[in-house]
């Protein structure tokens, strides 16, 4: 994968799409986390954000291919949420895949957006796309961010609405365990 990613990165840089090369590097930076589960903690708001504040949180970087990373986000015993990162022609896309226990899609699923130009190899921002705005009008001004803090060994998932942080969950990526998924 590194060879393909390097060739693709050179193409992106030479074509003036440096930001897209950066998000490709973000996918590469996720590779060491593949196949591992990490415990999380709600850091914002510290309380009162159900169901996150009263349940154990974890993420599993479960499926890693050349162009897709799937990360189930588990809240207590609820396994209905998966973050899906897909490298597409227009850039790196984040979609939230919500499923019922029987595997059928939830009515509110597949919302998210494509990485913005402000993204880099360690921090990617996904402003809500048009489909999300139509499906969830209150989220039309939402931005989801994924941040890898190398020094603190923390992966952060952040939701901001109208430029204000709404939710932040941090995962200790120094203490991952093999997932078995």
pLDDT attached to residue 86: 95
Question: What residue ranges of the chain have pLDDT lower than 70?
Answer: 1-20, 46-51, 178-181
pLDDT of residue 175: 75
| pLDDT computed for residue 112 by the predictor | 96
In three-state secondary structure terms, 128 is coil
- Distance, in Å, from the CA atom of 92 to the CA atom of 117, rounded to the nearest integer, reads 11
The confidence score (pLDDT) of residue 15 equals: 40
Angle separating helix axes 2-14 and 18-30, nearest 10 degrees:
160
Distance CA 157, CA 108 (A): 19
pLDDT of residue 14: 40
Per the CB < 8 A criterion, the answer to whether 111 and 133 are in contact is no
- Residue 54 is predicted with a pLDDT of 78
Which DSSP string do the residues of 53-84 spell out, in sequence order? GGS-EEEEE-EE-SSEEEEEEEETTEEEEEEE
For the entire predicted model, the pTM comes to 0.85
């Amino acid at each position: 994968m590194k060879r393909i990613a390097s060739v693709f990165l050179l193409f992106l840089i030479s074509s003036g799409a440096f930001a897209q090369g950066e998000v490709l590097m973000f996918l590469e930076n996720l590779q060491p986390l593949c196949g591992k589960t990490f415990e999380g903690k709600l850091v914002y708001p510290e309380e009162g954000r159900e169901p996150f504040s009263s349940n154990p949180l974890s993420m599993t970087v479960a499926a890693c291919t050349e162009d897709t990373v799937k990360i189930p986000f588990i809240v207590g015993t609820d396994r209905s949420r998966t973050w899906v990162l897909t490298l597409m022609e227009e850039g790196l896309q984040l979609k939230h895949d919500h499923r019922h226990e029987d595997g059928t899609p939830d009515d509110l699923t597949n919302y998210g957006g494509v990485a913005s130009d402000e993204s880099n190899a360690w921090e990617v921002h996904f402003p809500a796309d048009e489909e999300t705005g139509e499906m969830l009008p209150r989220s039309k001004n939402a931005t989801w961010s994924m941040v890898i803090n190398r020094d603190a060994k923390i992966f952060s998932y952040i939701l901001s609405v109208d430029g204000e942080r709404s939710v932040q969950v941090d995962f200790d990526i120094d203490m991952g365990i093999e997932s078995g998924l």
